[in-house]
Amino acid sequence: MLSPDASLVRLERWQALTPDQQRCFAPLCPELVVELASPTDEGPRGLTALRRKMDAYQSNGARLGWLLIPHERAVEVWPASGESQRLEQIALLQAGPEFPGLQLQLAEIWAG
């Protein structure tokens, strides 16, 4: 069982869960997962471990993953299919056609 730092589940999938399932870790993989790395992360929270988590989310049906790496001012974007892509020094992260209108301003994250 994995738990991302932030996630998004489509409303119809959430509503299909029972009330008991909604009160605990839901038995599903979110459509969007976000992990936030720290420069002091080691062991189970290190970048290698976070990349393994992103692989697991992708393998289990996540349609989009964002691995935010503030100390490098970089984002690794993990699409539903294909290889991850690294973006550096960007101010605005957009989810694209999978989640129209969803975007994340990165200035505060980069500022620490």
Question: What pTM, to 2 d.p., does this model score?
Answer: 0.89
Q: What is the 3-state secondary structure (H, E, C) of 27-77?
A: CCCCCEEEEECCCCCCHHHCHHHHHHHHHHHHHCCCCEEEEEEHHHCEEEE
The token duo for 45 is 């929270």
Q: What is the mean pLDDT of residues 54-72?
A: 94
Q: How confident is the model at residue 112 (pLDDT cuts 50, 70, 90)?
A: confident
Residue 37 has pLDDT above 80, yes or no: yes
Residue 71 has pLDDT above 60, yes or no: yes
C-alpha to C-alpha distance for 53 and 47, rounded to whole angstroms: 10
Residue 86 has pLDDT above 90, yes or no: yes
- Which structural domains are found in the chain, ordered by start? 6-111 (3.90.1570.10)
Q: What is the mean pLDDT of residues 103-111?
A: 94
C-alpha to C-alpha distance for 108 and 55, rounded to whole angstroms: 27
Residue 10 has pLDDT above 70, yes or no: yes
C-alpha to C-alpha distance for 33 and 4, rounded to whole angstroms: 6
User: How many other C-beta atoms are found inside a 10 Å radius of the C-beta of residue 42?
Assistant: 10
